[in-house]
Structure 1
Amino acid sequence: MSTLFRAVYSSVIYGVLLCQLWACSSSPEMPKADEVESLFVDSLFTPVTDIPSAEDIFYLPPDAVVEVRRAFERYSLSHSNTLTAHEWLANYINANQTSTQREFRYQDNLTQIASETYAQRAGNCMSLVVMTSALADIFNIETEFQDIAIEPVWDKQGDFYLINGHVNLRLLPPTNTHTVYVSSHAILVDFMPERALRGYDKTQINRQTLITMFYNNMAAEALVDGDLDRAYALIKAGLKRGQFVPAFNTLAVIYRHRGDEKRAEQVYRYALKFDPNDMTTLYNLAVILGDQGRLDEWAEVHKVLELARIRNPYYYYDMAQQAFDEHQYDEALAWYQRALARADYRHEFFFGLSQTYWALGDEKRAKLNMEKAMALSADETDKHRYQAKLQAMKRH
């Protein structure tokens, strides 16, 4: 398996970790453009032409621009004490359901360009931040982007583990020195406010870095879908806009899935020059070394991983499943509980725990955990499966 990094966002571990995009690390030096260029091997991939440009990412169609301008004009004409543009915009994008403007809401789906997010009134945090920035551009409102150091949220899609990060932005007040504004504070726009209010560390990032993160998100999603050509084109577009260390990890995962482990290892080792303690990159490199039987090198990398003790809840989940299959139910119970201690939002963990309690004869806890699995599942197929299992338990 690989791991990816994704900022909902995403990253990638080959067949194991795909981080959906944030968790930027500060590097003592930045990659050089000519060095980065040498990492690309276009001959391994079929060209893809429909990759959005950086301008496309923030583009809003004329009718959307007119709609937003008119909304602001209507507000200004109907209020004597009008808000500044950045205050109004903050209210506009968070309008409540009873207003004429349907609110923009967080929805953990694909990363989208601004025009798509505006049309759908929904998107993941990366999509919503990009759209809000595009709206701010209409009024020449300055923005600051922030990478939020939240606790990693794990997910699993196919052969990848995903680590989801978070990003938000601040709308800055006008800087006209000839006008005195009653409100001159910056406004935080965060579509997941429970995260914004918990005091996580924040790193300010520039627009170029945000664009690279955006491409990395899309590349991770294409990789999960099995479209290596598109994933490569996207990650190359991102790395040409700016150097974002997790994106190198994504590029390496793409090479490994294409069957070029030598090139993948080269990219992993290049990424480690800038962040030698990045767990995702180290883990993915260890997978290659282990598969190739290079045990001495593997041991050196694994030593670092063990010292940091990978916080991947799916490690404990996989161990639990193995113990369950071997009918070691007490052991499986302990592994499932460790997995849930690290990710108590994964429905499959509760499902496994429910099965284990049932095998141990604890029907009450088995039903309780099956109910939790059903409540947490967003997929209708899983929901129906859990519901059927729960009904069977109740009839027992």
Structure 2
Amino acid sequence: MLIVSILCVEGVMIRPILMLTLLLSSFIGGCASKTSTQDVDLNTYFHDEHFTAVTTLPTPEDIFTLPEQALVDLKRELKRSQSPLHQPKKMMHEWLADYINATDGGFRYADNLTRTASETFNDRQGNCLSLVVLTAALAEAVDVKVEYQDIGIPPIWDRQGGFYLVNGHINLKLLPADKSNVFNISTRSIQIDFLPERAMQGYSTQRINKSTVTSMFYNNLAAEALIVGNYDRAYGLLKLALAEQNQFLPALNTLAVLYRYKGLDTQAEALYRYALMVSPEDMNALNNYAIMLSVQNRLDEWAEVHKVLELARIRNPYYYYGMAQQAYLEREYQDALSWYKRAIAKADYRHEFYFGLSRTYWVIGDERLAEKHLKKALSLTKDSKNKQRYQAKLHAMASH
């Protein structure tokens, strides 16, 4: 079963973005460091002779272009909000946040195909990536800067056809205007979030740029095309994704998966090895490569790859955390306690690990330990929303 990675977008969208990543796995013993890949000519990994060119693919500009009606509606609402009847005036990024979430004419999350800003505007809904793209386009139209973030959530798995999908997550912030001659009392950024519960979990974040988001978009479209068997379209989209970011691991994985489906095992293996040069412990690359070696009965090589895969797994505290979360959802509470404790043994500074431990103790009736670990979670978090949430739960415990 091939593995495809999906990206969920928080801020303006929070849902999976299809990022095909076959489980790659290669013996990493001889892999080069990431810096050695900078001079690699990625064209050597493309094999146009096996595909028919598709000319109807969106350009990067197409992805973020709004229809004329969207601009008319936006400017009309902005002008109306600036009339004397709408005082006090809001900062532009605050106004835009309200506009996006407006009850009448707003946009809502829907778990469906990835679409451009124009398509999402016309349908008034979209998946996470579609909504992030739309919000970025609206922000650009009114000169509001945005900040994209990759959210470090544990993998969330889904299945479509012959693929396992791994859901990732990104979000979007609207930034206040930065004017040197103006002092603003309210200068906080605003996270656009159609699924606010995600924002409450306090995961680590990493800023990413528009080019990376564009690669994500193309990779999502490619994954969707691959799932329905449109290999030529998938190939063209992946070339566009890698033209934006030539070391974008989800796209490298997706392309390797595509090669496998086309029977191009040699080309897929070369791509797996390149992906593992970029990131020697990439879990999807390791897993997918291991699957390929197993199918080919190359058991000695499979064992070497599997060893690296297991070492990467056991060093990652979020592996144990993910196992704990799954055990909790399945009501295997003693197993959940064991996994949470192992996660804490690897990273005793993560508040969400202690919160998981707390809620599990609460469910099994150990109120003393539930309170103890919730207080620990509260002491570790720096996020104000998490602090409020944990304090509210402590209050509820005290009132119980």
Report the TM-score range of the alignment, normalised by the length of the smaller protein: 0.7 to 0.9
Structure 2 match to 1:153: 156
Query: Separation in 2 of the partners of 1:344 and 1:95?
Result: 37
Label 1:206 to 1:309 Cα distance change in 2 as closer, same or farther (>3 A).
closer
Query: Separation in 2 of the partners of 1:222 and 1:91?
Result: 35
Structure 1 match to 2:265: 261
Do structure 1's residue 36 and structure 2's residue 39 form an aligned pair? Answer: no
Do structure 1's residue 296 and structure 2's residue 304 form an aligned pair? Answer: no
8 Å Cα contact 1:12-1:280 kept in structure 2: no
Q: Per chain length, whose mean CA-contact separation is higher, i.e. which structure has more relative contact order (CA < 8 Å, sep 6+)?
A: 2
Structure 2 match to 1:116: 119
Q: SS state of the match for residue 5, structure 1?
A: strand
Do structure 1's residue 247 and structure 2's residue 251 form an aligned pair? Answer: yes
After TM superposition, the structure 1 = structure 2 runs for residues 205-216 of structure 1, keeping only pairs within 5 Å, are: 205-216=208-219
Label 1:344 to 1:205 Cα distance change in 2 as closer, same or farther (>3 A).
farther
Query: Separation in 2 of the partners of 1:342 and 1:223?
Result: 34
Structure 2 match to 1:90: 97
Query: Separation in 1 of the partners of 2:309 and 2:37?
Result: 24
Query: Separation in 1 of the partners of 2:140 and 2:94?
Result: 14
After TM superposition, the structure 1 = structure 2 runs for residues 139-218 of structure 1, keeping only pairs within 5 Å, are: 139-218=142-221
Contiguous gaps of at least 5 residues in structure 1 = 18-26, 311-336, 346-396
TM-score normalised by structure 1 residue count: 0.73
Do structure 1's residue 57 and structure 2's residue 55 form an aligned pair? Answer: no
Query: Separation in 1 of the partners of 2:283 and 2:147?
Result: 28
Query: Separation in 2 of the partners of 1:46 and 1:254?
Result: 14
8 Å Cα contact 2:4-2:18 kept in structure 1: yes
Q: Deviations over 1:251-307 (max 9, x none)?
A: 110111111000000000000011111111111111111111211101111122334
Label 1:66 to 1:210 Cα distance change in 2 as closer, same or farther (>3 A).
same
8 Å Cα contact 1:171-1:188 kept in structure 2: yes
Alignment identity in percent? Answer: 49
Structure 2 match to 1:67: 73
8 Å Cα contact 1:13-1:161 kept in structure 2: no
Query: Separation in 1 of the partners of 2:21 and 2:329?
Result: 19
Displacement after TM superposition at 1:219 (Å): 0.7
Query: Separation in 2 of the partners of 1:30 and 1:85?
Result: 44
Label 1:339 to 1:196 Cα distance change in 2 as closer, same or farther (>3 A).
closer
Do structure 1's residue 9 and structure 2's residue 17 form an aligned pair? Answer: yes
1:231 is aligned, of 225, 228, 234, to 234
Displacement after TM superposition at 1:28 (Å): 4.4
Displacement after TM superposition at 1:192 (Å): 1.6
8 Å Cα contact 2:21-2:251 kept in structure 1: no
Q: SS state of the match for residue 169, structure 1?
A: strand
Displacement after TM superposition at 1:34 (Å): 5.3
Q: What amino acid maps onto 2:5 in structure 1?
A: F
8 Å Cα contact 1:144-1:169 kept in structure 2: yes
8 Å Cα contact 1:109-1:123 kept in structure 2: yes
Query: Separation in 2 of the partners of 1:170 and 1:253?
Result: 33
Structure 2 match to 1:136: 139
Label 1:161 to 1:233 Cα distance change in 2 as closer, same or farther (>3 A).
same
Query: Separation in 2 of the partners of 1:69 and 1:155?
Result: 40
8 Å Cα contact 2:5-2:18 kept in structure 1: yes
Query: Separation in 2 of the partners of 1:30 and 1:184?
Result: 42
Displacement after TM superposition at 1:339 (Å): 11
After TM superposition, the structure 1 = structure 2 runs for residues 352-367 of structure 1, keeping only pairs within 5 Å, are: none
Contiguous gaps of at least 5 residues in structure 2 = 8-15, 25-32, 315-322, 332-400
Query: Separation in 1 of the partners of 2:21 and 2:145?
Result: 35
Displacement after TM superposition at 1:193 (Å): 1.2
Q: SS state of the match for residue 237, structure 1?
A: helix
Structure 1 match to 2:310: 306
8 Å Cα contact 1:150-1:195 kept in structure 2: no
Q: SS state of the match for residue 210, structure 1?
A: helix
Query: Separation in 1 of the partners of 2:105 and 2:36?
Result: 42
Label 1:181 to 1:338 Cα distance change in 2 as closer, same or farther (>3 A).
closer
Q: CA-atom RMSD, angstroms?
A: 2.3
Label 1:338 to 1:169 Cα distance change in 2 as closer, same or farther (>3 A).
closer
Q: What amino acid maps onto 2:91 in structure 1?
A: T
